[in-house]
Amino acid sequence: SGKSTTLAAMINQINESRRCNIVTIEDPIEFVHQDKQSIVSQREVGLDTESFTAGLKYVLRQAPDVILIGEMRDVETMNVALQASETGHLVFSTVHTPSCAETLDRIVNMFPPHDKPMVAMRLSVSLRGVVSQKLVPRADGTGRVAAVEVMICTPTVSKLIEEARFGQLYQAIAEGGYWGMQTMNQCLLRYYRAGLITEEDALAAAGNITELRQLIRRPA
């Protein structure tokens, strides 16, 4: 779905614009970053560290400003990532989920029942945003375009996360255009109306097919 490319672009943006210490833990390293404004240290699971968790614990002793964890696959990695964000580090990572709301649901539900309320509360404080993306074929056949759902942690969104009301996040995202939010369907509709993608491919990538079909049928 292009997650690695998006993360690499975000790290590159920081590297070009800020003086800071960036550390990545990846499996494998897909994009090699040269030092620009920042100092970038990349570690590969299996070569430089035995696991994401072990690498993360080591990395935290290096006083990084920005940390990229290629993927959060287990509770321990998520826990250490949360601790890192709570101690002032900017943390980027990926989770295999089809939407922003389901990302939150997946993270919280990976923890034991007695830990879930605390994890939801911790996320509501430290999380800044979630981007969910799918690569959709271009209508002219010249490759693919990234369709993105964007959730920004406004006070409203953070409150929903704290109370684990993930089912209500979709509506908050749909109504959050002012803050730069959009649902996957809103993005797909915009691409379709701009002629970037076909109706068939838009519907194939839709989070909610019925809703997108109705949006397409409505006059622009």
Count how many domains the chain has: 2
Let me know whether 149 and 81 are in one domain. Answer: no
Give per-residue pLDDT as tens, 8-54: 999 999 999 999 999 999 999 999 999 999 999 999 999 999 988 88
Starting from the edge strand earliest in sequence, which strands make up the sheet with 39-44, in order? 39-44, 21-26, 66-69, 90-93
34 class by beta-carbon count within 10 Å (0-12 exposed, 13-18 middle, 19+ buried):
exposed
Let me know whether 118 and 215 are in one domain. Answer: yes
Let me know whether 62 and 104 are in one domain. Answer: no
Let me know whether 135 and 64 are in one domain. Answer: no
SS3 state at 16? helix
Q: Which domain-ending residue is among 63, 94, 125?
A: 94
Q: Which domain-ending residue is among 35, 65, 94?
A: 94
Let me know whether 90 and 191 are in one domain. Answer: no
Q: What is the pTM of this model?
A: 0.93
186: domain range?
A: 97-219
Let me know whether 109 and 207 are in one domain. Answer: yes
Let me know whether 86 and 104 are in one domain. Answer: no
What gap in Å lies between CA 116 and CA 120, rounded to an integer?
Answer: 6
Q: Which residue from 170, 176, 135, 196 is spatially nearest to 6, judged by alpha carbons?
A: 135
Residue 156 scores a pLDDT above 90: yes
Give per-residue pLDDT as tens, 69-111: 988 889 998 998 999 999 999 999 999 999 999 999 999 999 9
Instruction: Give the per-residue pLDDT at 15.
Output: 98
Query: Mean pLDDT for the chain?
Result: 95
Let me know whether 126 and 195 are in one domain. Answer: yes
Residue 220 scores a pLDDT above 80: no
Let me know whether 204 and 104 are in one domain. Answer: yes
Q: Which domain-ending residue is among 76, 94, 112?
A: 94
Let me know whether 212 and 117 are in one domain. Answer: yes
Let me know whether 66 and 118 are in one domain. Answer: no
Copy the structure tokens of residue 153: 């942690």
CATH number of the domain residue 188 falls in: 3.40.50.300
**What is the dihedral sign for C-alpha 170, 171, 175, 176?**
negative
Let me know whether 192 and 117 are in one domain. Answer: yes
